[in-house]
Structure 1
Amino acid sequence: METETTPWRGYTLRRARPEELPALPDIENLAAQQFLQSAHPFAAGLPAQTLEQLQEYQRHGGVWVAATEQGSLAAFVLCKEVDGAMFIGEIDVHPAHARQGLGRALFEVVKRQALERGHPAVLLTTFRDVPWNAPNYERWGFRIMRDEEPGPGLRAIREQETRAGLPAASRVCMVLPLDATPGYGPRDP
C-alpha cells in the first residue's frame, strides 16, 4: 500500500490535493530563478507546468508535495510511468525552504512509490552541467544513460525538451535501477 503522508522535519510529505495544483507553477518559477546563476540562464524563463499538465501527472503517477505545519506548500515532485519505470518530471523547492533536503525527501517518496508499484527503475532528464542537476542526482545513486539506453517514452520526452528550446547537448537521461531488470541495471564496463 502506498504511503499517503509522511512527517519529515516539520513538513508533511503527501499527495497534492486537486485544489493545490494551481499553486505549483509559482513554486516552479521561483525555484527556476537559480538558473540565472548557471550555464543556462534562459531556463529561468521557461514556462512552468500548466494546470492541465499537472492534472495529467496527478492522474498517471503522482503529484507529491511538502507542506509546512501551517499548510503552505514548500516543494513538489511530479512523477508518472514511462517505459515501465517511474519517471520524475519535475522536482522543485521554494527558495525559502531550499537547502534543507526537501528535494531529496520527495525523491525518496517517489522511489518508495516506484518500489511499491514494482517498477524496476526511476528515470529523469536533466542538465548534465548544472551542479544541482546531474551531479546531484549522481550523488543520489542515478547514473547517466548511454545514448542507446532510453526507451521510446524517454526518447519522446527528450525530443519534446529539444522542441521546447532545451539544448540537446546539455541534457541527459538518468536512471536509478531498483532491481536487476535488464535494461536498467548498472552500466556495463
Structure 2
Amino acid sequence: MTITIRAVAPREVIHLPAIERDAAARFREVGLSAIAEGHVSDEAFIRSIQRSGVAIGAASGTDGLVGFALAGILDDALHIYELSVATAFGGRGVGSSILAALEERARDRGLSALTLSTFADVPWNGPFYARRGFAAVGDDAWTPAFHLLHVAEHAAGLPLDRRMFMRKELA
C-alpha cells in the first residue's frame, strides 16, 4: 500500500467528516460511545484550517483519502486539532506518516513543537503519541490556550479525567 501525504484539496473537504466518524467508531471499544456518536469537524472549521492552518490528507491509490489531520498554530507550536485514519487503514503506518508530515509543516513555519489534547488511556491516543516522542504536559505547565481548550472540552462533555495535553519538541 502506497500512501501519499498531501494538502487536502478544497473538493475533498466534504469527505473528512465521514473519515472522522469512521475512526471515532472505535471509541465504543473503550467505553466512549459518546465520542463515536458525537460531533465531527464541520466544513466551516475545516475550510478555516485550510486558509490559516494545516489540512493534510493521506491518500491511498484509488481509495482516495484514508486519513487526515487538521492543525493550527497555538501558542508556540503546531497544535493538532484532529488526526483521523479510516478504520480499514489503521495499524498500517498512516497515522505515523501524517505525524511526520505535521512535523515537517511545523518546522517550515519555524515552530519547535507539536501539541495536542488526547485520551491518556486509549491505546490509539496517548500511548500512540508517547511512542512517537510526545510527552504529557502537567497542568502546572499549561499555556493559556490549553486552559481555554480544557474549558471547551468540559463544555463538550468529554471525560476530563481521561484527557491530557501532550507536546513533542522538534529537533
Instruction: Give the TM-score category using the shorter length.
Output: over 0.9
- Work out which of the residue numbers 134, 139, 144 in structure 2 matches 1:147: 139
In structure 1, stretches of 5+ residues that fail to align are 1-8, 180-189
- Work out which of the residue numbers 36, 43, 52 in structure 2 matches 1:44: 36
In the alignment, which residue of structure 2 is the partner of 1:66?
A: 58
Structure 1 residues 55-93: Cα deviation after superposition (integer angstroms, max 9, x where no partner): 111122111001122261111011100012100111111
Pick the structure with greater CA Rg. 1
Identity of aligned residues (%): 32
The number of residue pairs the alignment matches comes to 171
4+ residue runs over 2 A deviation? none
Give secondary structure in 2 for the equivalent of 1:92: strand
In structure 2, stretches of 5+ residues that fail to align are none
Task: State the 1:42 CA deviation.
Answer: 1.8
> Partner letter of residue 40 of structure 2?
A
What TM-score does the superposition give when structure 2 sets the normalisation length? 0.95
Give secondary structure in 1 for the equivalent of 2:167: strand
For 1:71 and 1:95, locate their aligned partners in 2 and report how far apart those are by CA, in whole Å.
13
Give secondary structure in 1 for the equivalent of 2:166: strand
- Work out which of the residue numbers 23, 27, 33 in structure 2 matches 1:31: 23
For 1:87 and 1:10, locate their aligned partners in 2 and report how far apart those are by CA, in whole Å.
27
Q: Aligned-residue CA RMSD in angstroms?
A: 1.2
Are the counterparts in 2 of residues 79 and 87 from structure 1 also a CA contact under 8 Å? yes
Q: Which has the higher helix share?
A: 2
> Partner letter of residue 41 of structure 1?
S
What TM-score does the superposition give when structure 1 sets the normalisation length? 0.87
